[in-house]
Amino acid sequence: FLFSMRLLGLVTTLVIVLGVAYCNDDKEYTNIYAVRVLPETDVHALAARHQMTFKRRTFHDENLVLFEAPHADHDPKFHLSSSITWFERQWLVEMHRRDFSPSEFSDPNYVNEAQYHLRDDQFENDINVVPVWANNLFGDGILVCIIDDGIDPLSSDINVGQKYVTAASYDFIEDDNDPTPQGTDDHGAACAGLVGAASDNGFCGVGVAPNANIGGVNLIGGAYLASEEAEALNLALDQVHIYSNSWGPADDGNLYPVTASTTEDAFVNGVTNGRGGLGAIYVWAGGNGRESSDNSNYENYANSRYTIAVGAIERQSGQFSSYSEAGANLVVVAPSNGGFDSITTSGVGSDCLDNFGGTSAACPIVAGVVALVLEANPNLGWRDVQGVLINSAFRNDPLNADWSTNGAGLEVNHNYGFGRVDAEQAVAMAETWTNLEGEESVDSGTISVNTPIPDNDINNPVVSTFDVTEAITVEYVDIYFNANDHTYGGDLVVTLTSPSGTESRLAESRSLAVTYDNWRFGSVRHWGESSDGEWSLSVADEIGDDTGNFVSWRIVFHGVRECTSQQFRDGNGICQDCVDCATCSGTATNCESCNDPLVLSNNACIAACPAGTFNNN
C-alpha cells in the first residue's frame, strides 16, 4: 500500500511492508504505524487505549489501519491487545517520477532546440513528440528501411547496439550488402538520422523514434535497373515495417508514371504481404517543385494510394515551404527547412548536418512518427495507419484560404493534406483505433465525353458527371483522365467534385506540353465520405492558342462498402447478402426481420409459428 504526500517539493511515500517494527537501520521512520486488526474491532477505542490517534483505514483493506503516535519515543505496546494481529512502524521512501523531461536527452542539438521539428518552444510548429517519449514510446521493435542513396552503418547515431539491420540493407549500385554511400552522398544518411538517430550518446541530435531499428538501401546513388526499384520496395518484406522514400522523378511539372509495372506490383505485394499481412507502410516525399508549377499528383509514386505523401512546412510561420508541392494526394505535412531555418540531423560517420531540408526531411520525420504509432499498436493495417494520421493531424496555418471541411467532417487543404503530423495525437488515436473493415473498390469503367474544351476560358469548363449507386465509405479515389488530343495539356485545369461538394484540384495550368493519356490522378481528400451520389469531373482551358477534347475519364473508389439492411459483414469485413431474411446481422441466417409470409422465430424465418405459439405481429 502506498500513501503519497508532498514534502519539500519531493514525493515521499509511506510504504507498508511486512517486517520488524524496530530496527537499527538508515530508514527515516515516522510516528505512523500500520496496524492489522480483527474484523469488527472498534479502531477508535483501540487507538485511544494505546494513547494514539486513528488516522484512517487503508484503501485496499479495511482491517489494515493507520495509527499515529504522539511522539517518536512513544511505545504503543501493541502486543498487549489481542485484536491486533500485526503492526509495523512506517518509514519514508523517495521514488523517482518515471516521466520524461526534454532536457534528459543529452544530444547537443536537441538540447539547444536546433532540432526544432522535435521541440520548438518558440514557434510551436513541432510534431509534438515529447509527450510520446514521456510515455516510454521510442520506436522499440520497429524496423524502418531508408530507400535512398545509402546510409552509413558506422554512423555515430546508427552504429549503436543492434540498431542497424544488415538483412534490411543493400547497395543496388555496387550490388553488395554494404549500403555505405559513395563519395559525398549523405542524403540517405540524413534521412536515417531523422527517423532513428540514437539518443543520449552525446552526438548531434535525436531521431523521432530513437530506438527504432534502421536498414538502408542505396538505390538512387547512381543508375539502377528498373526491376531493382521493385526489389528495394520489397527488401526484407518479412521484417521491415516502414519504407521511407525521400526521392522521386524530376520536380518539373511533367507527368511521371512509375518506372515499370514491377514497381506497381511491389507496392501491391508490400501492402498485401508485408508485416504478416497487415501491410508494409510506404512514406513518400511529396515533391519540391512548387516553384516549377509542379504538383504532387503529377507522379505516380507520391499519388499512389499505397503511399503516404508528405509535404513540408516552415518553422516560423507554419506555412508551406516555398518548394513544397500541393496536391489532392497529400496526407500530412511536417516541419522542414525554409526561411532562415534548416533541419539538423546526423550524416555519414561523425558528421552532424545543419542544412538538411525539403520534403526529403519531412518524409522521414513522418516515418518516425509512424514507427511510434506502430509501437503503440502493432496490429494496425496499412490503411489504418493512414486513417490514424488523417484523423489526428493538426490544422496548421489556419488562415490559409484553401482549408475546407469534407463530407465526413474532416478539414483538408491542398497545401497541407489534413495538416501537420501530431505524434501525441496519432499515438493516442492508434491505441484505441478499431481496424478498418476489408477494402473493396467500385469502378465506373470508362466514361466517354468526347467534347471540345473551350480555349482560354476558365469559366466555361466541360463537366462530366457520374452517378454512383454503390455505397463505399471512401478512403482513396483514383481518377483516370484522357485528353490525349489536346495540343498543350498544360493549359488544363482538372477538378473532381464529390456529392458532398468537396473539390479535389487534380491539375493546374502550367506552360508545359504534357499529354493526359489516361493519366491516373489520386485524391485522399474524400476520406470518410460516401461514394453514393453524383460525382463530377470539370475540365477547363486556362491558356490560349491550343485546343483539344475532354475525351473520357474513369473513377475508382477504394474503401469500405456500406452494407445495406439486407446484408451482413462477414469475417473478412465484406458485405454478403442475407439468405432467408429481409434484414440480418452477424451471419446470413441471423435474421432480424422476415419477408411476408415468413415469421421470425429465434432469429430464423420460418413458414408458420410452432405449436403452442402465435404470431405477435
- Catalytic residue numbers, as ranges: 148, 187, 360
In the sheet with 492-497, reading across from the earlier edge strand, the strands are 462-468, 533-541, 492-497, 503-507
**In whole angstroms, what separates CA 581 from the centre of its chain?**
41
Number of CB atoms found within 10 A of residue 38's CB = 12
CA-wise closest residue to 125 among 319, 340, 391: 319
Rg of the chain in Å (alpha carbons): 32
Among residues 552, 554, 538, the alpha carbon closest in space to that of 493 is found at 538
Total H helices, total E strands in the chain: 9, 32
172 closest CA partner among 214, 207, 220: 220
Could you tell me which residues are beta bridge partners of residue 448? 552
CA distances from 5 to 12, 93, 98, 303, 312 (A): 6, 11, 17, 56, 47
Burial class (CB in 10 A: 0-12, 13-18, 19+), 273: middle
Angle at Cα 371 formed by Cα 99 and Cα 326, nearest 5°?
A: 115
Between strands 213-218 and 170-171, the pairing is: parallel
DSSP string computed for 245-290: E---S-SSS--B--S-HHHHHHHHHHHHHGGGGT--EEEEE--S-G
Residues found in the chain: 617
Q: DSSP assignment of 355-413, as one string?
A: EE-SHHHHHHHHHHHHHHHHHH-TT--HHHHHHHHHHH-B--STT-TT-EE-TTS-EEB
